Amino acid sequence: MNNPKELKYTKTHEWVKEEDGLFVVGLTDFAQDALGDIVFLNLPLVGDEVTAGEVFGDVESVKAVSDVYSPVTGKVAAVNEELLENTAMINEDCYNAWLIKVEDVTGTEELLDAEAYEEVCANEA
């Protein structure tokens, strides 16, 4: 599994990175692999509040639905509209297929580095 070193991770299989003052959030390779082909996303609206450790949306595969948890507390600054049209991007290139960008971040979930996250994955596999 290839989990980029420059990203941080949650135990619930989201990645997060800081970019120009915004926190960018996506799903990890482990998550997309476990879900299978993703067919739909339910994402918040720009301006919605998200809270670290709480659900902000969900992803659907054909026969399952999974919650997505926010790694940070803040306000949604952007939603990846392109992804809503092309959910396959998550399966094909999950570390570029960001879901939301969060601004005004006031707190974060306990974040793991790639190594620690891989350990989490190893225990779940």
Partner 1 sequence: MKLLFELSKENRKMNLIPPCDVPEYSFDETLLRKEELRLPQISEVDLSRHYTRLAKQAHGVNDGFYPLGSCTMKYNPRIDEEAAALEGFTAIHPLQPQSTLQGALQVIYEARELLCEITGMDDMTFQPAAGAHGEYTGLLLIRKYHQSRNDTKRVNIIVPDSAHGTNPASATMAGFKVINVSSNENGGVDLEALRNAVGEDTAGLMLTNPNTLGLFDPNILEITRIVHEAGGLCYYDGANMNAIMGTVRPGDMGFDCMHLNLHKTFGTPHGGGGPGSGPVGCKEFLKKFLPKYTVSKNMDGNYYLDVAENSMGKVRSFYGNFLVVVKALTYIKSLGKEGIKEASCNAVLNANYLMNKLKGYYDVAYDQICMHEFVLSLDKMKHETGVSAMDVAKQSLDFGIHPPTMYFPLIVHEALMLEPTETESKETLDEAAEIFIEIARMAHEDPEYLHEAPHNCLIRRPDEVEAARKPILRYEFENDQ
Partner 2 sequence: MSGYVVNTKQEQQEMLESIGLKSMDDLYAAVPEEAKLKELNIPEGKSELEVIREMKALADKNVVYKHIFRGAGAYNHYIPAIVKSVTSKEEFLTSYTPYQAEISQGILQSIFEYQTQMCELTGLDVSNASVYDGAVAAAEAIMMVQERKRSDVLVSDCINIGTMGVIKTYCESRNINIISVKSKDFAMDLDDLKEKLNENVAGVLVQSPNFYGVIEDVEEISKISHDAGAKVIFSTNPIALALLKNAKEVDADICVAEGQSLGLPLSFGGPYLGIMTCKKELMRKLPGRIVGQTKDAKGNRCFVLTLQAREQHIRREKASSNICSNEALCAMTASVYCAAMGPDGIRQVAKNSASNAHYLAAELSKIKGFELISNKPFFNEFYMSCPRECRQIVQQLAEKGYLAGLPISNNILWCCTEMNSKAEIDEMISIIKEAL
Residue 3 or 32 with smaller CB distance to partner 2: 32
d(CA 42, CA 112): 25
Binding partner selected for residue 87 from partner 2, partner 1, none, CB under the kind-specific 5 to 8 Å limit: partner 1
Binding partner selected for residue 37 from partner 1, partner 2, none, CB under the kind-specific 5 to 8 Å limit: partner 1
Q: Is 84 in the site for partner 1 (CB under 8 A)?
A: no
Least Cβ distance, residue 39 to partner 1 (angstroms): 4
CA 65 to centroid of chain Cα atoms: 15
Which residues are within 8 A (CB) of 111 and not within 5 positions of it... i.e. 6 or more apart? 8, 9, 10, 16, 71
With contacts defined by CB under 8 A, name the span among 33-41, 69-77, 102-110, 117-125 that binds partner 1. 33-41
> Which residues would be at the binding site for partner 2 (CB under 8 A)?
39-40, 58, 60-65
Place of tokens 């190893």: 122
Binding partner selected for residue 65 from partner 2, partner 1, none, CB under the kind-specific 5 to 8 Å limit: partner 2
CA-nearest of 67, 60, 70 to 8 is 70
Which residues are within 8 A (CB) of 52 and not within 5 positions of it... i.e. 6 or more apart? 70, 71, 72, 73, 107, 108, 109
Interacting residues toward partner 1 by CB under 8 A: 37, 39-40, 60, 62-63, 87-88
